[in-house]
Amino acid sequence: MVANAVQIRLSVNGESHDLEVEPRTLLVYALRDDIGLTGTNIGCDSSSCGACTVLVDGRSVKSCTMLAVQAEGAEITTIEGLAATSDGDGLHPMQQAFHEYHGLQCGYCTPGMILASVSLIDEYPDLDESGVREGLEGNLCRCTGYNNIVKAVLQVAGKEA
Amino acid sequence: MNATNLAATSVGSAPIRHDAADKVIGAARYPADAVPADALHAVVVFSNRPHARILTLDTSAARATPGVVAVFTAADVPVNEYGLTMFDQPVFVGPADTGRSSVAADISRWEADQIAMVVAETTEAARLGAAAIHSVWEDLPRVDDTDRALAVDAPLLHPENGLETNAYHHLNIRKGDIDRGWAEADVTIESTYEVPHQEHAFLQPEAGTSYIDDDGRVTVECTGQWIHEDRGQIAHALGLSDDEVRVIYLAIGGAFGGKEDMSIQIVLALAAKKLAEHGEHRPVHCRWSREESIVGHHKRHRGRINARLGATSDGIITALEAEVTLDSGGYNYTSNKVLGNAHLSVAGPYRVPNAVIHSQAVYTTTVPGGAFRGFGGPQGAFAIECQLNKLAAELDIDPAEIRRRNALHDGDIGITQSVLPQGVTATEVIDACVARSGWEAPLRPAAPFNPIASLPAETGAIRRGRGFAAGYKNVGFSFGFPERSEAEIHLHGDGDTPDRADLFHGGSDVGQGAHLAFRQIAADAVGLALEAVTGHFSDTATSGDSGSASASRLTFMAGNSILGAAEEADKAWRDGQRPAVGRFRYVPPPTEPLNPETGAGTPNFSYGYMATEAEVSVDTGTGHIRVDRIVSTHDVGKAINPALVRGQIEGAVVQAHGYTLSENLQLSEGHVTTPRLSSYLIPGIGDIPEVVDSVILELADPLGPYGARGMAEMPYITYAPAVIAAVHDATGVWFDSFPLTPAKVLAALG
């Protein structure tokens, strides 16, 4: 039942997926509904909350602001594939830090928050607390009050809060 | 049960929550992640009319829409009524009252009354079907606010209750001799406070899936705060027994009171049942958009409090009068309960010898008010704390000191003319907050504040100030509500002592980490390591009734039920039963409704106490406010898990920050006009207080498990009055309403 379908190939977490999508399909829906990667959450309809943040060629992108067809040719990393991008066989250091520093409660914002933080540190390895606050302004959390999130990100940046 | 002397190994420590591993890798299953491949997709259709009578509802074009499988309406609902504390809402609004409900079912009383559920092969087809529904309405006069609702010529919104007014629930207090109280007063503070709506904005919008399970039960997988209450309301509307319905909670992405009432649960259950009756055995999935969520569920009550406070020149309260009016919107939800809590909170944790208080809940044709963290406490506390801060300023008495002089102590008679539950620690939290914040020392300097980075800071425009507030919060639903919590523990092992335990509990983990706290309590109670206790949670097929995850009651109630179940399991173990099964139903001391005239009674069995100090910078050039520091001080009785307790404080503070400064729900002609997170502004990481200093006191509650008190609402309640006192300290202006948006602040500064 796909109208005006187009064929695209998306590379997600190192795997190639051939999909048939409508040109208007947002990346987040392609990831969740067509590929089944439901770790990327949907929290709003207005690009406000950041729950759907993924990495596109290593940079954080709200996957509700990008069409699936625009993501062709890029390497997409979702929360499910993040661990594999780091050394070692466990969690990515950012996942580990959110885990240890109680950087989550309900967990709904967590995948997007972690990926936004990974991208932030990658871009600004030397950032301090105010840099974390500025850099994560696009990701909303309603549970934690953000304090433990800041601590987790600073720990990964090598600056214990 | 008093378990303060039990050995505590897990309790009091801060292990990593067991659900965190799944949450950091994206494996946690929220309802929208758990859609079976063969599921049908459903859309709920709102009336979109604040007040109107439906004349005709034509679903033929919707049913003929390609992909649409079925359309369900009022005609399909066996008992077309629901509600958490009273059945005053139709499941679906539909033409002609068919006599299957106690409330007229052909009238929409708010814009999100539901008129149909369209079930289709895809969400898109369901939406096309929904758009093809044709309805004809007779608009009725809107009742946009409580002023209109209380006017003599206002239409009666719920005539079925037999009242001549839209003010349908009243509480009174007549204590002491109010005339003497005023005669003894040297000063009088009189104000009218307006408190705003607040949207919960849990990050996970409502979603769920319904199906008939292998045992033939109508089953709904969803999120919520009380599986057994959800089951009861579904069963009632569907004309089924409780045993024929099953409710399971998957991972819950926040609730805060906003998932205490029904949203999609009943209509999802109805759809699965009806489809099955017609031989269609496919699950039905429904997920609300953010806009549907904000329009479609209740809010923290807006309201008005007329308050008058009399005191001696030493600052001792002699008289208190208050008139509390809460806007219930179109339906009660939990308004009667919320009103009760506001009613008690408006006197604060203070000795008030003479009082006259009247509180009322009023129907309008706007979004319903209902449960939201604090549950009436923030509204009441805002009034009394602002009154006390104005009194302190008037008399030039230190705001903390004026609270000490009036604070309740153990053995005191409270506002409801009964002795307060043992363990009154109002003075202790005030003293602790004063000590930690350096309240008696000069205000500390703060970092420069430049709210608009692109503009140069205006020299001399920044004013700083600080404020203080204190309060208390009860545990549970109060006023004679039959509180209970059930737990079941199975002990396994071949040796002399168990090596493993299963814990079955219905309590809802809405994100706060309750299930970890339950396991910690169980581990200590059965003498096992935390890892040896497996939890089986939030499924009516396996759990007893735990009561709600709300009203600061869950750890208190569930903890006591787990301790009881552990004791029973231990007995069974010693009797040789394998696995040894212990079941326990904890029932706290009874409470009672207040006397309708005097308010006399014993409404609660436990309270927690708190105090907040706030420091702010106000840019008088732009109206922006920065909260420089919050010292949030709480007697939690016992921190079962200190990291989770701290998380509750930090999270509640930031929610209250939004309530106080930025969250500004707008209504126009009965419609919510800020239904997105782009227009309804919850705090982002750049907006929060610079420093949140959480101070945790552990002064045991005699009844609490390990001495624990309910705590997750307390940090919220004193935030707004403390910040508003700090803004007054900075600017000399009292704000009797909020949120303090820059425009509002600028206008007041003149």
Tell me the per-residue pLDDT of B70-88, one tens digit each, with 9 for 90 and over.
999 999 999 999 999 999 9
Q: Are B290 and B45 in contact (CB under 8 A)?
A: no
**A147 in contact with B, Cβ within 8 Å:** yes
Residue A101 has pLDDT above 80, yes or no: yes
CA torsion, points A91, A97, A100, A103, in degrees to nearest 10? -120
How many whole angstroms separate alpha carbon B206 and alpha carbon B298? 12
Residues in chain B closer than 8 A to A100 (CB atoms): 16
How many whole angstroms separate alpha carbon B177 and alpha carbon B723? 34
Chain A: residue whose CA lies nearest to B293: A44
**A29 in contact with B, Cβ within 8 Å:** no
Q: What is the pLDDT of residue B7?
A: 62
Q: What is the pLDDT of residue B641?
A: 97
Q: Confidence band (pLDDT; 50, 70, 90) for B2?
A: very low
- The CATH number assigned to the domain with range B40-140+206-287 reads 3.90.1170.50
The count of other CB atoms within 10 Å of the CB of residue B514 is 26
Ranges assigned E (strand) in B544-579: none
Distance from chain centroid for Cα A24: 21
How many whole angstroms separate alpha carbon B246 and alpha carbon B248? 7
Cα B663-B452-B717 angle, rounded to 5 deg: 30
How many whole angstroms separate alpha carbon B383 and alpha carbon B372? 18
The count of other CB atoms within 10 Å of the CB of residue B497 is 10
Cα B358-B360-B363 angle, rounded to 5 deg: 165
Tell me the per-residue pLDDT of B500-529, one tens digit each, with 9 for 90 and over.
999 999 999 999 999 999 999 999 999 999
Structure token pair of residue B480:
């004679």
**Mean of the pLDDT values across residues B213-220?**
98
The count of other CB atoms within 10 Å of the CB of residue A110 is 33
How many whole angstroms separate alpha carbon B684 and alpha carbon B215? 46
Q: What is the pLDDT of residue B638?
A: 97
The count of other CB atoms within 10 Å of the CB of residue B279 is 6
Chain B: residue whose CA lies nearest to A36: B33
Tell me the per-residue pLDDT of B599-647, one tens digit each, with 9 for 90 and over.
999 999 999 999 999 999 999 999 999 999 999 999 999 999 999 999 9
- Best A47, A76, A77, A105 member to test B by mutation, with max B CBs in 10 Å, is A105
Closest approach of A96 to chain B, Cα-based (Å): 8
**A144 in contact with B, Cβ within 8 Å:** yes
Residues in chain B: 750
Q: Who contacts B345 (Cβ-Cβ below 8 Å, separation ≥6)? A: B376, B377, B379, B380, B381, B384, B471, B472, B473, B717
Q: Confidence band (pLDDT; 50, 70, 90) for B451?
A: confident
DSSP B549: S
Residues in chain B closer than 8 A to A140 (CB atoms): 203, 677, 682, 684
Residue B1 has pLDDT above 50, yes or no: no
Cis peptide before A111 (omega within 30 of 0): no
- Best A136, A137, A142 member to test B by mutation, with max B CBs in 10 Å, is A142
**A85 in contact with B, Cβ within 8 Å:** no
Tell me the per-residue pLDDT of B55-64, one tens digit each, with 9 for 90 and over.
999 999 999 9
Structure token pair of residue B327:
């806007």
The count of other CB atoms within 10 Å of the CB of residue B597 is 9
Residue A54 has pLDDT above 50, yes or no: yes
- Best B33, B203, B515 member to test A by mutation, with max A CBs in 10 Å, is B203
CATH fold label, B303-415+422-477+595-749? Aldehyde Oxidoreductase; domain 4 (3.30.365)
Residue B671 has pLDDT above 90, yes or no: yes
Closest CA to B659 of B743, B734, B740: B740
Nearest neighbour of A48 by CB, restricted to B204, B647, B677: B677
Q: What is the pLDDT of residue A45?
A: 83
The reply to whether residue A145 touches residue B654, judged by beta carbons under 8 angstroms, is yes
DSSP A87: S
Residue B5 has pLDDT above 50, yes or no: no
Nearest neighbour of A137 by CB, restricted to B26, B125, B684: B684
- Strand ordering across the sheet containing B462-474: B462-474, B607-619, B625-635, B691-697
How many whole angstroms separate alpha carbon B342 and alpha carbon B377? 5
**A104 in contact with B, Cβ within 8 Å:** yes
Torsion angles phi and psi, residue B742, rounded to 5: -55, -40
- Cα separations (Å) of B176 from B179, B180, B415? 9, 8, 10
Tell me the per-residue pLDDT of A124-150, one tens digit each, with 9 for 90 and over.
999 999 999 999 999 999 999 999 999
Q: Which residue ranges does chain B devote to CATH 3.30.365.10?
A: 2-28+484-586, 303-415+422-477+595-749
Nearest neighbour of A134 by CB, restricted to B30, B512, B686: B686
Q: Confidence band (pLDDT; 50, 70, 90) for B98?
A: low
Residue type, A63: S
Residues in chain B closer than 8 A to A99 (CB atoms): 16, 20-21, 24
Residues in chain A closer than 8 A to B28 (CB atoms): 107
Cα A9-A10-A12 angle, rounded to 5 deg: 150
Burial of B532 from C-beta contacts in 10 A (0-12 / 13-18 / 19+): middle
The count of other CB atoms within 10 Å of the CB of residue B139 is 11
Cis peptide before B739 (omega within 30 of 0): yes
Ranges assigned E (strand) in B574-662: 580-586, 607-619, 625-635
DSSP B390: H
- The CATH number assigned to the domain with range A86-156 reads 1.10.150.120
Residues in chain B closer than 8 A to A82 (CB atoms): 25
Strands B462-474 and B607-619, by their bridges, are antiparallel
How many whole angstroms separate alpha carbon B616 and alpha carbon B634? 21
**A132 in contact with B, Cβ within 8 Å:** yes
Share of residues in chain B with pLDDT > 70 (%): 99
Structure token pair of residue B361:
């809940």
CATH fold label, B2-28+484-586? Aldehyde Oxidoreductase; domain 4 (3.30.365)
CATH fold label, A6-82? Ubiquitin-like (UB roll) (3.10.20)
Backbone dihedral region for residue B637 (phi beyond 0: left; psi -120 to 50: alpha; all else: beta): left
Q: What is the pLDDT of residue B666?
A: 98
Tell me the per-residue pLDDT of A74-92, one tens digit each, with 9 for 90 and over.
999 999 999 999 987 799 9
Ranges assigned E (strand) in B213-281: 218-222, 245-249
Three-class SS state of B91 = coil
Q: Number of CB pairs < 8 Å for A and B?
A: 171
The count of other CB atoms within 10 Å of the CB of residue B176 is 17
Structure token pair of residue A85:
């991008």
Residues in chain A closer than 8 A to B659 (CB atoms): none
**Structural domain spans, chain A:** 6-82, 86-156
Chain A: residue whose CA lies nearest to B204: A43
The reply to whether residue A140 touches residue B682, judged by beta carbons under 8 angstroms, is yes
Residues in chain B closer than 8 A to A13 (CB atoms): none
Q: Are B111 and B93 in contact (CB under 8 A)?
A: no
Chain A: residue whose CA lies nearest to B206: A43
Residues in chain B closer than 8 A to A79 (CB atoms): 24-26
Tell me the per-residue pLDDT of A10-47, one tens digit each, with 9 for 90 and over.
999 999 999 999 999 999 999 999 999 999 999 998 99
The reply to whether residue A106 touches residue B204, judged by beta carbons under 8 angstroms, is yes
Q: Which residue ranges does chain B devote to CATH 3.90.1170.50?
A: 40-140+206-287
Q: What is the pLDDT of residue A87?
A: 83
Q: Confidence band (pLDDT; 50, 70, 90) for B460?
A: confident
Ranges assigned E (strand) in B364-498: 369-370, 462-474, 485-492
Torsion angles phi and psi, residue B225, rounded to 5: -125, -5
Chain A: residue whose CA lies nearest to B513: A105
Q: What is the pLDDT of residue B32?
A: 97
Q: Evaluate whether A6-82 and A86-156 have a shared fold.
A: no
